[in-house]
């Protein structure tokens, strides 16, 4: 769904507010809309019907990039997951400012706990920007996906491949495609099967004994 000029202006104001609050850098706010839209780049080669019935989850939404922009661009139901109370208060305000109530839920939660909840195995799309290491991002995001869904992660500009196929099998994931929008890189992982029930582990276990 293309953004109207009014929505674009509102997004700009919300991201400027995120900078004031310290949730985004000025550069991240300026580049936020284009960077966020880039998360949908996989659709050009791997179509995924993103309808109003689809559940999408953004992990570690923070100041709203990419979650707020993606929620404005797609008709999906979105859940923004962040464990910071102040950030969640900010996001709740931002959702109201963008008239996304009823379609976007802000959830104050640890992502590892959230992935063991009722949304496990339900999402068609999970996104993450600067959330955690590749291993932790996959471990928290993979179990949320329904079979045939995608985990899409922003990548550093060095184009180093960080997603070992064998280890990802434990999470029911497989590397799908990489792309670059001119300024940022992205990686999509496909959900081919259910994640093992023990995943995700607590973050202390993930960092102490990473999957890869």
- The domain spanning residue 27 has which CATH number? 3.40.50.150
Q: How many domains does the chain have?
A: 1
Is pLDDT above 90 for 157? Answer: no
Percentage of the chain modeled with pLDDT above 90: 94
* Kind plus residue range of the DSSP H or E element containing 107: strand 104-108
Cβ(39)–Cβ(71) below 8 Å: no
| pLDDT number for residue 2 | 79
Percentage of the chain modeled with pLDDT above 70: 100
Domain with 75, as residue range(s), is: 5-208
Is pLDDT above 80 for 8? Answer: yes
Q: Is 209 left (phi over 0), alpha (psi -120 to 50) or beta?
A: beta
CB neighbour class for 175 (10 Å; exposed up to 12, middle 13-18, buried from 19): middle
Q: pLDDT per residue over 38-97, tens digit each?
A: 999 999 999 999 999 999 999 999 999 999 999 999 999 999 999 999 999 999 999 999
CA dihedral for 90, 122, 154, 166, sign (positive or negative): positive
Cβ(106)–Cβ(84) below 8 Å: no
Average pLDDT of every residue of the chain: 96
Q: pLDDT per residue over 158-193, tens digit each?
A: 878 999 999 999 999 999 999 998 889 999 999 999
């Amino acid at each position: 769904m293309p953004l109207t000029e009014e929505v674009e202006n509102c997004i700009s104001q919300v991201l400027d507010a995120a900078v004031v609050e310290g949730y985004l850098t000025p550069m991240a706010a300026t580049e936020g809309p284009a960077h966020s839209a880039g998360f949908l780049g996989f659709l050009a080669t791997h179509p995924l019907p993103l309808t109003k019935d689809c559940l999408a989850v953004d992990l570690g939404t923070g100041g709203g990039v990419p979650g707020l922009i993606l929620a404005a661009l797609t008709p999906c139901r979105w859940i923004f997951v962040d464990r910071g109370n102040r950030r969640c208060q900010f996001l709740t305000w931002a959702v109201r400012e963008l008239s996304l109530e009823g379609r976007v839920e802000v959830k104050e939660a640890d992502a590892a706990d959230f992935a063991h909840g009722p949304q496990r195995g339900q999402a068609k799309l999970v996104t993450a920007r600067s959330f955690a290491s590749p291993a932790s991002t996959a471990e928290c995001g993979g179990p949320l996906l329904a079979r045939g869904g995608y985990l899409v992660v922003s990548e550093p500009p060095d184009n180093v491949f960080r997603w070992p196929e064998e280890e990802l099998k434990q999470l029911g994931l497989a590397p799908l495609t990489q792309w670059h929008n001119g300024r940022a890189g992205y990686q999509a992982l496909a959900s081919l099967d259910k994640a093992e029930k023990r995943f995700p582990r607590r973050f202390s276990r993930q960092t102490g004994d990473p999957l890869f």
